[in-house]
Amino acid sequence: MTTLLDALNAAVNHHMAGRTGPAADAYRGILAVEPAQPNALHLLGVLRAQAGDAAGAVPLIGRALHAQPAAPSAWGHLGAALRAAERPEGAEPVLQRALALDPANADALDAMGATLHALAIYPAARRWLERAARLRPGHAETLLNLGTVLRDQRRFAEAEACFDAALARNPGLADAHLARAVGRLVRGDLRAGWEGFEHRWQRFATPPWDGRPTGGATILLHMDQGYGDAMQFVRYAPLVAQVAARNGGRVIVETHPLLFRLFAHSLEPAVQVLVRGPEPPPHDIHCPLMSLPRAFATDLASIPAGVPYLAPAPGDMPGRREGLVASKGTDNTGLRVGLVWAGNPRHRNDRNRSIPIAALRPLLSVPGVRFIGLQTGDARADLARLPGDGVEDAVERVRDFADTAAILATIDLLVTVDTAIVHLAGAMGLPSWLLLPHVPDWRWLLDRADSPWYPSLRLFRQPRPGDWTTTLGTVAAVLKAHAAKLARR
């Protein structure tokens, strides 16, 4: 007669052999008989996390700990799942509990380091990861996490050594290729960075285009990242069209519905723009938009930075459509400044790049400025927390990025965190000020106040992790001087 222990052993054997379906079925079978069986709950949660469902793993492992609260490995796996579910604030105390029970739990040490990295606590993150690395030398994931922290501390040579060691152990570890590529890109070594960045995507069945003559082929350019990435790299589409036209070929850009009208107006007729569907349109060769810099062998000296390359359609100008902000020709006085303080909360680095609206008060107190709120998403509700009517909400009837472009065309300056709208404003040539965390996204490079991608952009950087107070104080002072100068004209 099969006992629960026999069933658990069989489930674990399936799990360890990579037979995830039978393992999950076996764990569920055990729980159907004994719903609070801690090992089955714990390991089913681990299986969910390994399948990419960290949020689904959390309640399962939590139930296991309710039944067996002194299990250090379960505490460690719960902390790792919370971190993977983008909940590092909750992961830290859980991992502290795991390490109090078992100070030599390498998985928990690794997860603690990665958690503190997500919270931008870099020195402590490094110390935990170095402890994990001493316990399990050569472990690829630990080396990857340690290298990422070292990279963000600007210890680039040490970071590269970690990534190289991780790839020596596991040559197919895409995240290590990407992490090494980011370190090269942020230092301006673009050509080396583009090569490593190719590990981010899965290829289509059709051949990829690498910049060579097309021989009359139809080239499909497609999104593989976010809206901002698409707007940054669609600048290459006309250049691809020039290559294709020499041999009688043509270019199709397939994009998200929210970008379709903007791209169609700005790129056609040289490039055909289509809304992305369940299947790609007929084509001969293809290239993700973010792979185009590699195809053109782009380095810092050859970035195609001619702007504007995106523009609103004349019929979309807000002064011609009911419900959008009035144009510059009204009687309203003051410098018109668009304001965005938060990005997509689901972005893995959003806690570091977005700003609490209360921190904007020094900026909002600058005289002679009319602030136009261009914030979208849940953070838009933060406007209700501001006293009076200091920021006008301009996005109530915005349908897509073409509408946003029409509003941007009516303002004098955009002040924003690192989110999609900065790419739209930069592509339009609108003067923009970008507020950057201490560890910036790779495209903004290091220690410079300008961007080779967008000539109209000025960068304001945190002097240390989490220090928005100093950054916003600087921005407020510069804005005050700018507004006063305009008022004297």
Q: What confidence tens digit (pLDDT) does each residue in 277-305 have?
A: 988 999 999 999 999 999 999 999 999 99
Mean pLDDT estimate for the chain: 91
Q: Rounded CA gap, 307 and 316, in Å?
A: 20
- H helices of 34-71, in order, are 38-50, 54-67
pLDDT at 456 over 50: yes
Q: In terms of residues, how long is the chain?
A: 489
What Cα–Cα distance (Å) separates residue 391 from each residue in 110, 129, 337, 394, 439? Answer: 44, 44, 10, 9, 29
For every residue of 279-307, DSSP letters joined together read SPPS-SEEEEGGGHHHHTT--GGG----S
Tens digits of residue pLDDT in 378-437: 888 888 777 655 788 898 889 999 999 999 999 999 999 999 999 999 999 999 999 999
pLDDT at 331: 44
Q: Enumerate residues 6+ apart whose C-beta is below 8 A from 11.
A: 23, 26, 27, 29, 30, 40, 43
CA distance 488 to 242: 47
Q: What is the pTM of this model?
A: 0.91
State pLDDT tens for residues 40-49: 899 999 999 9
Q: Residue 387 burial by CB count (10 A; 0-12/13-18/19+): exposed, middle or buried?
A: exposed
Mean predicted confidence (pLDDT) in 181-203:
92
pLDDT at 100 over 90: yes
Q: Could you tell me if 43 and 11 are in contact, meaning their C-beta atoms sit under 8 angstroms apart? A: yes
Per-residue pLDDT of 53-79, as tens digits, reads: 999 999 999 999 999 999 999 999 999
Classify residue 206 by its DSSP letter: S
**CA angle, 24 as apex, 22 and 26 as ends, to 5°?**
65
110 pLDDT above the threshold of 90:
yes
CA 150/CA 142 separation, integer angstroms = 12
CA torsion through residues 135, 141, 144, 149, sign: negative
Whether 287 contacts 332, CB under 8 Å: no
What pLDDT was estimated at residue 284? 94
- Residue 153 is classified by DSSP as T
Angle at 316 between CA 310 and CA 318, to 5 degrees: 110
Residue scoring higher pLDDT (326 or 476): 476
Please check the confidence at residue 96 and state whether its pLDDT lies above 50: yes
pLDDT in tens, 321-356: 444 444 444 445 689 999 999 988 777 788 889 999
Percentage of the chain beyond pLDDT 70 is: 95
Residue 203's pLDDT is what? 67
